[in-house]
Structure 1
């Protein structure tokens, strides 16, 4: 009878897969020996595998290059990284190795851009696409960046006042884009996005505020929908409406030469994940080609803003199962040595599912369980995997430690979770490990940030270090076995 965990996985999915393989009884991720990582750094821990960032950027560029060649498309393609997905220096440094551009969301993003320019990571020809509702500091920072010579900074106009606000702080002429306020999917609680300007108002807005404004030139139309790039009627309908606006504008605005189709490529969230990226890109390019040909206008240069797709699949989190609680005749709770609310907040906030697999004991018998976090909050749990009705793990045994990994967690989790700040129930933030490869392809690991200590949290709370009297307490990782 096939009762081992490895049997369950092989019967349910195609396994092994490109990024997931086994070395004996232990799981490997992109060739990383995860058990060795645990032995070296302990648990809980988070890690970022930097080469995956460059790999995904390269994949997207190739897909667009193929589609442009296949369709005889005359415009260029520009890949932008959406910084809000992860602002960390190591992420930006890795992404910018690939001749890409940047999309920003708020004032402090511009400070990051300026720092990256100062060390040569961002060049003068790098596009900086400035999205979001622009408060005074954001306006001021955009003005400073453009006034200091970064002409490829393009503010995307979100409301009717931003043209005047930008004109007040920018000394010379400048380029802008306009964001379309797309209609939301029918299941949403509201009809139209709060961001941007409505379809029917864009042409009048251009004619009233930009057409005769000698200081402002319209370069880009920006299109994005919440659900991302999906092969469904809703996405294609919104894209067609966007293209109709583009050709109307292009006929009266010669300077308009770019279409930003935003982001929203899904990332792998299950071993059964399927998505035909090349087909979607081919069809998008084809639709733009057809629409522009019918309207007899030149095709636009294409910009995308990929955030989760860029960085999501580079991240992972590892926990140890501390204890099993049998709460009734059916439910077994495996308690992890951290908190889902603080370390993987999307699992709690939007019921997002990540790939979850054990790190060790793949040849042991399995059982159905629920996963619980350490906080005293009833919402601190993880109860299912994508495409499965339950969680199955190797059977809990007190004398045989079990470690589990959550994969493709690299987007948003640190910033939403409040990296380096207070955590729910004062559960400390795990240590964070960076994983790279040297010129020979060998794995290189380094500790980016240690696990939070009591003194870190007390200082934030205003206690300073007066509440710490035990030296050993400062030096011991919370529920961690080194």
Structure 2
């Protein structure tokens, strides 16, 4: 075995420093690391398997005319996540000598893209992995793809007559759909559909648990939860099914305590309650046989292993152990045969497998360069220059007097306000005002470098770094590609995918392409909390600066919108090849401008014709040359065929 190359270092900065800084060893240890070139390395089958240099991959995709922003889907990671999920339950079942089995299902709502769902169905056949549908459209997807008679098809969501009848007919087709009663009035529809078709569906009941949940989705449980039957309603539903001769079809109990469960104790309490409901349903005469613990298996987005919204205080194996052990204990105490365990872990399956890569278009920051002194400067500018000189005489970090720094900053703000007041009253001109603002921010920069690292800093001074931070303009729309960051403040790991052997010298945040003040990424992972700025590099001329957003494979693609008519990005499915390379399984081109216009009912052909008519009129009036009119039409025709994002 050949020795690995030594890790390169620039500016006294190593890839180990970047690994710690961006917490890559915490949230990405299964699949992501940094190679000796300072680039992100992706290991789709785990750290011991083959890997790809992400920067090299992006450059090769660019040469295929697949430009940033890019959504890279590593199907091997998707398969590995399913394998790990089943492996964890297999270990738990073996350890606790559980006499039942585990069958997972993927909630289609997490990622409804055709190639994603097809890949999940294909790569999980050996485990008879199923699907969960929450709408009639998702039910149609599941029926067309899920041809394994041993795989479960969990039918959730609101159900009308056609939904229920379709599920009954699917059972006759050889599928295994289980219609989960989530509203009491669905019982009557099931009874009526059974009478009409002469055949019944498999039936499940979703219970509203009294156990308390935690995290952002804690209202998914309890009496006020959106779906599920209360205990009195369960009793009524059982009686209705019994009177209709359908109690023998009741084979599943379902519950859900919210997405991204961050505290394992919440799950334990819910499992105990649900287990006893299951046991009572058995005693009432239902055959049962399946207990669906719903979704909620969390992702440790920041790697802190804490019970915060961006993390979890448990591992995948902890989760499986608690599910198996709790249900086993309850059933054993009551001498009831243990059920087949079902879970709907969409986030845990699909989060890791996609990476959004986007390029930075440019940066901006507060102007803090100082202009040369001129004659007859106003008093405010003179005072600001004196304040800046005094700061240069302050010691650096060691022996710094915080009170003097605070006084200097207060002075700078007062002198700036004096200059603004003079400008408003017409006593000074634009040049003097510009000097005052630049000198104020020069003072801020001089102050920021002098602040000690491990000392309590006044709030006004502590905010200086944020005020001085760079804005990096990102070639994405967060409303399309990362809507949860805007809608619910979801944190995703975000970091450069290259130059990780160089010390990042700038603090910054990202602004997207949309004309919306909320179109920004300004919350980043930290150790159990969020920080408002991220460490980044200065841009190099004639060189792309590429950023990756990780762990965003669940929900982001299906919930994105067309804000400012920015459409989908290019999406590429990548599989590792047997020779150690890779192959592109699927390439899905992003939306063109014509496609997003048509989605809003604008006819692109009509748009062109209107411009042509306007051009002819301008030519007749001598306002536009024929060559320029042709150039305009060619630009528009070409633009309609191109991506909605900025290109070279």
TM-score by length of 2: 0.68
Contact kept, 8 Å, 1:47 with 1:317, in 2: the verdict is: yes
Residue 56 (1) aligns with residue 195 (2): no
Match of 1:29 among 36, 39, 42: 42
Contact 1:107 1:141 in 2 (8 A): no
More deviation, 456-465/40-49: 456-465
After superposition, the Cα gap between the structure-2 partners of 1:2 and 1:265, relative to the gap in structure 1 and judged at 3 Å, is farther
Q: Matches of 1:333 and 1:185 in 2, distance apart? A: 38
Change (3 A) 1:246 1:453: same
Aligned to 2:317: 278
Which residue of 20, 30, 37 corresponds with 2:32? 20
1:412-427 alignment to 2 at 5 Å?
412-418=555-561, 423-427=562-566
Which moved further from structure 2: 469-478 or 362-371?
A: 469-478
Q: How far is 1:283 from its partner?
A: 2.2
**Residue matched to 2:638:** 472
Give 2:404's aligned residue: none
- For the residue of structure 2 that corresponds to 1:467, the secondary structure is helix
Going from structure 1 to structure 2, the CA distance change for 1:295 and 1:230 (only over 3 Å counts) comes to farther
**Residues 485, 491 of structure 2: 8 Å contact kept:** yes
1:478–1:105 Cα change, 3 Å = closer
Check whether the contact 1:247–1:297 (CA below 8 A) recurs between aligned residues: yes
2:334 aligned residue: 295
Paired with 1:346 and 1:18, the residues of 2 have a C-alpha distance of 24
Q: Is the 8 A contact 2:207 2:255 kept in 1?
A: yes
Q: Aligned partners of 1:343 and 1:14: how far apart in 2?
A: 22
Quick check: 1:235 aligned with 2:283?
no
Deviation at 1:480, TM superposition (A): 4.6
Distance 1:428 1:280, change over 3 A: closer
- Check if 1:106 corresponds to 2:135: yes
Q: Does 2:210 correspond to 1:210?
A: no
1:195-344 aligned within 5 A: 195-206=227-238, 208-216=239-247, 217-272=249-304, 275-327=314-366, 329=441, 330-344=468-482
Q: For residue 210 of structure 1, give the secondary structure of its aligned residue in structure 2.
A: helix
Report the Cα distance in structure 1 between the residues aligned to 2:601 and 2:497, rounded to whole angstroms: 39
Determine the structure 2 residue equivalent to 1:448. 587
Match of 1:123 among 148, 157, 160: 148
Partner of residue 429, structure 1: 568
Q: Quote the residue 1:374 is aligned against.
A: 513
Change (3 A) 1:284 1:374: same
Q: Tell me, what secondary structure is at the counterpart of 1:65?
A: helix
* Distance in 1 between residues matched to 2:508 and 2:223, nearest whole Å: 40
- TM-superposition CA deviations, 1:109-138 (whole Å, max 9, x none): 221123225xxxx22332211011213442
**Kindly tell me: are residues 271 and 173 of structure 1, through their superposed partners in 2, closer, same or farther at Cα, counting changes over 3 Å?**
closer
CA distance in 2, matches of 1:262, 1:438: 35
Contact 2:152/2:177 (8 A) holds in 1: yes
Distance across 2 between alignment mates of 1:14 and 1:453: 35
Q: Please give the per-residue CA displacement for 1:400-458, whole angstroms capped at 9, x wherever unaligned.
A: 3210001121111111014xxxx101123211111113444531125532232221122
Decide which of 525, 529, 538 is 1:395's aligned counterpart. Answer: 538
Which whole-Å CA distance do the structure 1 matches of 2:14 and 2:516 have between them? Answer: 30
Q: Alpha-carbon deviation of 1:19?
A: 1.7
Q: Does the 8 A contact of 2:214 with 2:261 survive in 1?
A: no
Change (3 A) 1:230 1:369: closer
Mean CA deviation greater in 472-481 or 404-413: 472-481
Tell me, in whole angstroms, the C-alpha distance in 1 between the residues paired with 2:256 and 2:567.
36
SS in 2 for 1:404: strand
Contact 2:31 / 2:42 at 8 angstroms: preserved in 1? yes
Per the TM alignment, residue 221 of structure 1 is displaced from its structure 2 partner at its CA by 0.5
Q: Secondary structure at the match of 1:473?
A: helix
Find out whether 1:174 has 2:201 as its counterpart: yes
- Superposed CA deviations along residues 224-266 of structure 1, whole A, max 9, x for unmatched, are 1114454444332222221221122222225111111112212
Give the Cα separation in 1 of the matches to 2:185 and 2:364: 58
Q: Where does the alignment leave 5 or more consecutive residues of structure 1 unmatched?
A: none
Whole-angstrom distance in 2 between the partners of 1:14 and 1:331: 23
Gaps of 5+ in 2: 1-9, 44-50, 306-311, 368-440, 442-467, 609-632
Write the mapping of 1:128-143 to structure 2, written as runs, cut at 5 A. 128-143=153-168
Instruction: State the match for 2:438 in structure 1.
Output: none
SS in 1 for 2:41: strand
- Superposition TM-score, scaled by structure 1 size: 0.90
Residue of structure 1 equivalent to 2:460: none
Higher relative contact order (CA 8 A, sep 6+): 1
C-alpha root-mean-square deviation of aligned residues, in Å? Answer: 2.5
Would you say the 8 A contact 1:106–1:132 is kept in 2?
Answer: yes
Give distance in 2, aligned partners of 1:83 and 1:227.
14
Shift of the alpha carbon at 1:311? 1.4
Asked if the contact 2:19/2:34 (under 8 Å) is kept, the reply is no
User: 2:117 maps to which residue?
Assistant: 92
Which residue of structure 2 aligns with residue 356 of structure 1?
Answer: 494
Secondary structure, in 3 states, of the residue corresponding to 1:368?
strand
User: Which segment drifts farther, 30-39 or 241-250?
Assistant: 30-39
Change (3 A) 1:10 1:143: closer
